[in-house]
Every structure is written in structure tokens, then in C-alpha cells.
Structure 1
Amino acid sequence: MSKEVQITLTEDEAWVLFEFTRRFSDTDKLGIEDQAEERALWNLCCVFEKALHQDSDLKYTDFIAACRNRLRDEE
């Protein structure tokens, strides 16, 4: 089981990212419609960089592959 990571967003960031992901969920198309979405994603990336630490000796590509495998839906 993966550890939990807590991140903090402003309410505006949360709403903009919610709309961005909701739109993707509805259309299966991922695209920036407003510069605020781009800014919110950049901010989120910065938050992730501060919060995430690789606890493995695996090279990064293998580490990400292992994370993806654990996150996928079971068939």
C-alpha cells in the first residue's frame, strides 16, 4: 500500500484544477482552455516537487513504472 501525501492548494487552484479534470473526465481530451489552468498546473507541479521524495534505489523510470503498476485498476 502506498503512503499518503498531503498537499495544500488555494481554493482558486482547487476549483480551476477541478474544472480541468472534470472536463477531461467528460471528454477524454486534455487541453488548456485558459492560462489560469496552466498556472494552476505549474503551481501543482511545484507543490509535488516539495512533497514527494523517492524512497527507492530504483532508477526514476523504473520507480514511476512501479507506481503506475500499483495505481492501475485490477483487471
Structure 2
Amino acid sequence: MTEPERSVTLTLSSDEALVLFAFVQRFSDTDRLAIDDQAEQRALWNLCCILEKSGVPFQGTYQEALLAARERLRDAP
């Protein structure tokens, strides 16, 4: 049985949102995932903390939940 879709709401500062948007957009454009500025590293650390505090819900073990989530997010073959 697949886990029902749930929402998680995150709150970012406008600076965090802009820096993360630029980071993700650059990756989308270049397929290159690299920190180009220390602010990107800080924004990613902050995002990790926000996600950790959000108590992302999952069933089973973390590893099982992660594998299942990855499977649901992949493009169909």
C-alpha cells in the first residue's frame, strides 16, 4: 500500500528563497550541482534544519520511506 500524499509547508526568508532558487535553477540549466557561493551552503544548511524541524512524516524505517518516496517521484519509464 502506498503512503497517501501529504503536504509539508516550509517557511524561508526571502533571501533564502532567492539564493536557493538561483542554486536550483543553475543546476537545472547546467546539470552541475556545486556550491558557487558560501551563501548557497548556508541556505542549504538552513533548509535542512527547517526540514528536520518540520517532522516530515513517514511510515516504516527512514530508509524504507526514502526509497518509496524516490520511487514515487521518479519519471515513469
Identity of aligned residues (%): 53
Cα separation, 2, equivalents of 1:72 and 1:2: 15
SS at 1:9's partner residue? coil
Provide Cα deviations, 1:10-57, integer angstroms capped at 9, x if missing partner.
00000000000000001101000000000000000000001133331x
Structure 2 residue 74 is matched with structure 1 residue 72 = yes
The one of 23, 27, 34 aligned to 2:26: 23
TM-score normalised to structure 2 length = 0.88
TM-score normalised to structure 1 length = 0.90
Aligned to 2:39: 36
SS at 1:46's partner residue? helix
- Which ranges of structure 2 fall in alignment gaps of 5 or more residues? none
SS at 1:2's partner residue? coil
Q: Which moved more, 1:13-22 or 1:1-10?
A: 1-10
How many residue pairs get matched?
Answer: 74
Q: Calculate the aligned-residue CA RMSD, in Å.
A: 1.2
SS at 1:53's partner residue? coil
Aligned to 1:63: 65
Cα separation, 2, equivalents of 1:68 and 1:24: 19
Aligned to 1:11: 14
